[in-house]
Structure 1
Amino acid sequence: MIGTLVNVVAILVGGSLGLIFRTRIPERMFKIVFQAIGIFTLYLGVSMALKANELLIMVFSLVVGALIGEFLRLEDRVENLSELLKKKIGSKDDKFSTGFVTSFMLFCLGAMTILGSMEEGMGNEPTLLLTKSMMDGFSAVALAAVMGVGVLFSVIPLLIYQGGLTLLAALFGGVIPEVIITEIAGVGGVLIIGLGISILEIKKIKVLNMLPALLVEVLLCYIFLR
């Protein structure tokens, strides 16, 4: 769990610096930074998605996962959680929910999250997660400067998700083939593309409702690829 804890600290430090810079950045600069983050998010998603090979499994996982997420109303529940946190801390930041959700997705859906958690969970040095921590720390500066304090609170779901993956890897990591990890990262890449489209305000996509696609992908990969 060392890698995840360092990751949390890096985001908190970077996000805090971003909040300081936020008060000193002209409003017109926010929009261009926001667009830059959106374009990079698209690039990151495409680069991950192209590594997947089992496209039929990917499409089926996305469709079924989206239906499950829509039925469970995951996005509404997460937004309600973020609004609850916002009220608890007395924040009046109108971008709190956007910062919370966007940061969580960016910090948690990358290939380094999955591979790094597997690495540490299987007893190796958390090299990937430490590298990811440095990258996330710098990203948190820009995200918090644009989206506000919600970015800092994204460490809560990150700790649960990434820490949970590390614990699962400690229990089952030795039996998860690398090909399955690659395919999971591919689905994550598609979700990140959707996130990038939302950030750029091209179209609002309920990416959180598609998160169950990751679990469906794991199940189908175990059935057809082992």
Structure 2
Amino acid sequence: MIVGPYINSIAIVVGGVAGSLLSPWIPRRLHEGMPLMFGICSMAMAVILIMETVNMPVMVLAGILGALSGELISLEKKINTVATKTIVESILPKPRGEITNEEFLKIFVALIILFGASGTGIVGAMNEGMNGDSSVLITKAFMDFFCAILFATRLGYSVVILFVPQLVIQLILAYSAVLLLPLTTEVMRSDFYAVGGLVMLATGLRICGIKLFPVASMLPALLWAMPLSYLWVHFSN
């Protein structure tokens, strides 16, 4: 039974509501300190997944080809455009108060990617679909809960709507992974998790503000992981 995406969604909704209600009492300095911890947690999870790798050349090659593919089609730019046009500008109310419309759009689109299309969410959803382990998504739910609280203090109840793209994307990935499972091997799955760890590591570095990796453009690496793992096993010996 798939439960991780629903737990993640509940965390975003509850965090968004709580942040909106508690905004007068939440100090602004938390916006600087807490994301650093979120980033460190993401990087720690990434290290654990990278250690799953069986074929290191597969992990490296998938990462390079994935980033190359994403950049050639400008994937991150297209996701930003679609998110802005279909969700932010057409559905959400205009921001009020001290935050400008441009800043609101920038933060909200970034949160759509962070909650719905991050390496953590994609790997976690496929991990649960393939082996029933929801631990990655549950861990992500804890981080998203506090992240939703922080950003709801600035964006208000608009943060709550972020559970929609997050839930849809994770459910599609989880149930797709269930169908994909019979076609994979344990080695292929391990190499996939390792490549996912690379994307999660980039996500953590971006959250911490150390380096603004184009994480969305790195997501095609996950598509390369299993085919390359299969080819490596069958043709390298």
Q: 1:166 to 1:102 in 2, by over 3 A?
A: closer
Q: 1:166 to 1:20 in 2, by over 3 A?
A: same
Q: Give the Å deviation of 1:66.
A: 0.9
Among 164, 171, 174, the alignment partner of 1:166 is: 174
Distance in 2 (CA, whole Å) between partners of 1:79 and 1:113 is 22
Question: Which piece of structure 1 moves more, 40-49 or 178-187?
Answer: 40-49
Q: 1:222 to 1:133 in 2, by over 3 A?
A: closer
Distance in 1 (CA, whole Å) between partners of 2:68 and 2:111 is 25
Distance in 2 (CA, whole Å) between partners of 1:91 and 1:182 is 45
Unaligned runs of 5+ in 2: 96-103
Asked if 1 retains the 8 angstrom alpha-carbon contact of 2:112 and 2:166, the reply is no
Q: Which structure would you say has the larger Rg?
A: 2
Asked if 1 retains the 8 angstrom alpha-carbon contact of 2:125 and 2:171, the reply is no
Q: Structure 1: which amino acid aligns with 2:232?
A: F
Asked if 1 retains the 8 angstrom alpha-carbon contact of 2:12 and 2:144, the reply is yes
Asked if 2 retains the 8 angstrom alpha-carbon contact of 1:103 and 1:151, the reply is no
Question: Which piece of structure 1 moves more, 207-216 or 141-150?
Answer: 141-150
Is the aligned partner of 1:179 residue 2:180?
no
Please report the RMSD computed on the Cα atoms of aligned residues, expressed in angstroms: 2.5
Q: Structure 2: which amino acid aligns with 1:86?
A: V
Among 121, 125, 146, the alignment partner of 1:108 is: 121
Q: Give the Å deviation of 1:23.
A: 4.1
Q: Structure 2: which amino acid aligns with 1:147?
A: F
Q: 1:201 to 1:169 in 2, by over 3 A?
A: closer
The number of equivalent residue pairs is: 217
Q: Give the Å deviation of 1:133.
A: 5.5
Q: Structure 2: which amino acid aligns with 1:49?
A: I
With structure 2 as the length reference, what TM-score do the two structures score?
A: 0.79
Match of 2:144 in 1: 140
Distance in 2 (CA, whole Å) between partners of 1:197 and 1:43 is 11
For each residue in 1:151-180, what CA deviation from the matched residue of structure 2 results, as whole angstroms up to 9, or x when unmatched? 544434433433223333343322311221
Match of 1:123 in 2: none
Asked if 2 retains the 8 angstrom alpha-carbon contact of 1:180 and 1:218, the reply is yes
Is the aligned partner of 1:221 residue 2:229?
yes
Q: Give the Å deviation of 1:51.
A: 2.0
Distance in 1 (CA, whole Å) between partners of 2:217 and 2:12 is 25
